[in-house]
Amino acid sequence: MLALSTHAGDFTRGSTFDSVDAFVAAAKTFRPAAVNSDLSSLFGVPEIGEDDHGKTVVAVSTRSCEVIWSDEDSALVIAIASPPTEATPSSVGVLFLLARRAGQWRIADLLRFAAAGKEAQVSAELTAGTGTGYRLGREGMAPVVTVKESHGGRGYAYQLYASYSFGDAQLKRLDLK
């Protein structure tokens, strides 16, 4: 089977990419509300207001897509969008784990995050440090990404944080013990 590179119009869970940068470029030009893709629904949230309560509103486009960490075989990337909800602002973020196989990059796993309210925002940052003589991603030094969801506003704002790493081509939440 021949694996071809993906163009912006073909951004699906099964797509392949020549590089992590090609994935980022495709994600930045992705139009979830306009295309029929299995990834489109990830960038939607239910409307909270009185009219159309529960109707899913899908983002017109992605607002940003950033590489958080990458090496020769894996990458962690966050794509963020703002669905045009009427009742309250919303933000959606999708954390992608990309894996390189047979010279092509593919989506190995993903997690979706959503926030609602005046202060709605989803963000992610690399929170693992490297030790002297070690290289992140090798020798047991797995990258750790912390995702922040900012909710609410107008006197009742709150933030949720969770940290994730990966193993066996799956994203894993790190729980405090």
Integer Rg of the chain from CA: 17
**What token pair was written down for 10?**
């073909």
Predicted confidence pLDDT, tens digits, the chain (177 residues) = 333 344 445 799 999 999 999 999 999 999 999 998 999 999 999 887 656 667 899 999 999 999 999 999 999 999 999 999 988 899 999 999 999 999 999 999 999 999 999 889 999 999 875 444 455 555 567 789 999 999 987 778 889 999 999 988 899 999 866
As a whole number of angstroms, the distance between CA 57 and CA 52 comes to 10
Give the pTM.
0.86
Non-local (6+) Cβ contacts of 170 within 8 A are 97, 108, 109
Q: Tell me which residue of 128, 118, 120 sits closest to 81, measured CA to CA.
A: 120
